[in-house]
Amino acid sequence: MTTTETPPTEFRRITVAPIAGALGAEIGDVDLADLDDETVAEIRAAWLQHLVVFFRGQELDSDEFVAFARRIGEPVEYPFVRGFDDHPEIIAVKKLPHETVNFGGIWHSDTVYLDQPPMGTMLLAREIPPTGGDTMFANQYAAFETLSPAMQDLLRPLRGVNSSALADVSKTREDRMRDADDGEPGRVFEASHPVVRTHPETGREALYVNVAHTARFDGMTEEESKPLLQYLFHHQVKPEVTCRFRWDVGSLALWDNRCAQHNPVNDYHGHQRVMHRITLAGDIPS
């Protein structure tokens, strides 16, 4: 354990069962539609400790989903897909039976091309395929801590330039952008952030680049940046720093975008998968 790692917490109102060695835990004995302050505090503590937490059997309507999100952070709208008319904070993340590309189907941290990327994201399963459609998560504290000290020292001063227009991720949202009548498909967002981010609540350092959005190092060309970035993209999602979650209808995931990446597995062609997503406002990475 590093000196700044979040220590284990004693939970009195919820149960917390880790699902893998690297990150991820299922939280039980809780109804997200009926929470008191002590339970919310324990959920947040478990989230900071495990990076991504999962709840099952949460049959929340849209009002209850937004209300829970507001107990954790400030819901914000997604820049590329329009939210629901009555709940603009919620977007539908779906793949239809005839589609072959899934939304966000690549390892990434959410919208790091914004000056203030989100603190966290919530995903609630509404419809799932009979098999497949799992989501994988990767611990970016562990990704950084398993680099050599010399590599850590090399990376700490660097900044990464992140773009919303990289081809591999742009194609994963094309279907949903076509659904958004008032969207801005031609708009490009770009932001520079530290390659090594210090988590504002835990004080731990996390690797903060990702294959979906990080185009180059600030002050370098893409060609110069590519060899090191490609190494980091491979290193940060090795099996030993990941977990995998199998969804049920009513499952809800809450992940920390500041120290975890995720990747929805695209292995259910011919079936429909519908999730509802809320993004929580964050701060400027440092």
Selecting among 50, 108, 176, 193, the annotated active-site residue is: 108
- Quickly state the pLDDT bin for 4 (edges 50, 70, 90): very low
Angle at 149 between CA 145 and CA 153, to 5 degrees: 100
First to last CA, the chain: 22
Active site (annotated) includes residue 248: no
Return d(Cα 129, Cα 268) in angstroms, integer: 7
Q: What is the pLDDT of residue 175?
A: 46
Verify whether residue 29 is a known catalytic residue: no
Q: Considering only residues 276 and 4, tell me which one the structure prediction assigns the higher pLDDT.
A: 276
CA distance 227 to 223: 8
Domain boundaries, the chain: 15-280
CA dist 24 and 276 (Å) reads 20
Higher pLDDT among residues 15 and 177, named by residue:
15
Q: Which pLDDT does position 181 carry in this prediction?
A: 53
Asked whether the predicted pLDDT for residue 165 surpasses 80, the reply is: yes
> Which class for 209: exposed (0-12), middle (13-18), buried (19 or more C-beta within 10 A)?
buried
| Element (DSSP H or E) covering residue 149 | helix 149-155
Q: What is the CA radius of gyration of the chain?
A: 18
Residue 210 pLDDT: 97
- For residue 94, what are the CA distances in angstroms to 127, 130, 244, 261? 9, 15, 19, 19
Point out the least confidently predicted range of 78-92, 157-171, 176-190, 272-286. 176-190
Which is the catalytic residue, given 110, 193, 256, 276?
110
Give the active site residue among 199, 216, 258, 262. 262
Average pLDDT (21-33) is: 98
Instruction: Assign domain 15-280 to a CATH class.
Output: alpha beta
CA 229 – CA 215 distance, rounded (Å): 9
Give the predicted TM-score (pTM) of the model.
0.91
Active site (annotated) includes residue 277: yes
pLDDT above 90 coverage of the chain, percent? 84
Q: What is the pLDDT of residues 28-68, one digit of tens each?
A: 999 999 999 999 999 999 999 999 999 999 999 999 999 99
Banded model confidence at residue 160, pLDDT cuts 50, 70, 90: very high
**Which residue in the list 213, 216, 276, 277 is annotated as catalytic?**
277
* Comparison of pLDDT for 2 and 78, the residue scoring more: 78
pLDDT tens digits, one per residue of 124-152: 999 999 999 999 999 999 999 999 999 99
In this structure, what token pair is assigned to residue 7?
A: 């220590």
**pLDDT at residue 90 tops 50:** yes
Range 103-124 average pLDDT: 94
Residue 3: predicted pLDDT = 37
CB burial of 230-253 (b: ≥16 within 10 Å; e: otherwise) equals eebeeebbeeebbbebebeeebbb
Identify the CA nearest to 194 among candidates 164, 156, 166, 141: 156
pLDDT score for 100: 86
The pLDDT assigned to 18 comes to 98
Contact 69, 122 (CB under 8 A): yes
**How sure is the predictor about 169, in pLDDT bands with cuts at 50, 70 and 90?**
low
Q: From CA 286, how far away is CA 284, in angstroms rounded?
A: 6
| pLDDT at residue 211, rounded to an integer | 96
CB 261 within 8 Å of CB 112: no
Ranking 175-184, 210-219, 241-250 by mean pLDDT, the lowest is 175-184
Decide if 41 contacts 30 (C-beta within 8 A). Answer: no
The mean of the pLDDT values for the chain is: 92
CA distances (Å), 203 to each of 63, 140, 224, 230, in order?
Answer: 33, 13, 31, 27
Which residues are within 8 A (CB) of 218 and not within 5 positions of it... i.e. 6 or more apart? 158, 159, 160, 161, 192
Catalytic site residue 262?
Answer: yes
pLDDT at 166: 85
